[in-house]
Amino acid sequence: MKKVLILEDEVNIRSFVVINLKRAGYDAIEAGTGMEALERLKEHPDIGVAILDIMLPDIDGFEVCRNIRATNKQIGIIMLTARTQEMDKVTGLMTGADDYVTKPFSPAELTARIDALYRRIGGDKAETELLSHGPFVMNVRNRTLEKDGERIRLTQVEYSILKLFMQNPGRALSREDVLTAVWGRDYDGELKIVDVNIRRLRIKIEDDATTPKYITTVWGFGYKWGA
């Protein structure tokens, strides 16, 4: 069963999340303090996604996030932010979170975000293990990319976008296609996030990012892998 950690000191909210996680088929691991969350993660190294509240009695959610990221790049992290604290979203993403959900949230919204993250980190066993194209070899099991035998370090999002392209060579993908495939159907963020990530990806993988030949632009539509 897929494990999700829920760190929240308010018992009512935590129970509400736990009930809904169970209903969605997840195994919920609970923590009421930051230290407890770090302990639980040590006990259950197979936790795939962690939901972190920010305001906590001991170390805050940002600190917990930083702590987790120091040793674990793979786990998906969702911050629970208060509606009034707009800055929390930015701070959360800067400390290494993948996503955030604003309180009060609906169970459907939260589980959709978790599903999306699990899909991203999941590595479906039925998948082909290696994707290759030109100088690139992507190992789907290890989530690594090499160009001419040299490892290129990608963020989770960059990896997911590139994998989508490599699985669809020569096919024009709209920015909406990329957003849906990588962030999930219920993601309500802006399309611009796709362009920003592609700009970063091009810098990492292209021979010359100003004249991309691998991730090409399809004017007025989106992007394509290969010319």
Residues making contact with Ca ion (CB under 5 A) = 9, 53, 55
Distant-in-sequence, close-in-space partners of 88: CB < 8 Å, separation ≥ 6: 54, 79, 81, 82, 100
User: If you ran DSSP here, which 8-state letter would residue 83 be given?
Assistant: T
Smallest separation, CB 166 to Ca ion (Å): 41
The 10 Å Cβ neighbour count of residue 39 is 12
- Name the closest residue to Ca ion (Cβ): 55
Smallest separation, CB 81 to Ca ion (Å): 11
Nearer to Ca ion, 32 or 184 (CB): 32
Nearer to Ca ion, 102 or 216 (CB): 102
Smallest separation, CB 67 to Ca ion (Å): 17
Nearer to Ca ion, 65 or 154 (CB): 65
As a whole number of angstroms, the distance between CA 205 and CA 207 comes to: 7
Smallest separation, CB 128 to Ca ion (Å): 43
Nearer to Ca ion, 38 or 55 (CB): 55
Distant-in-sequence, close-in-space partners of 43: CB < 8 Å, separation ≥ 6: none
As a whole number of angstroms, the distance between CA 101 and CA 76 comes to: 13
User: If you ran DSSP here, which 8-state letter would residue 96 be given?
Assistant: T
As a whole number of angstroms, the distance between CA 69 and CA 58 comes to: 18
Smallest separation, CB 92 to Ca ion (Å): 14
Nearer to Ca ion, 14 or 163 (CB): 14
Distant-in-sequence, close-in-space partners of 212: CB < 8 Å, separation ≥ 6: 202, 206
Give the dihedral sign, CA 186/192/195/196: negative
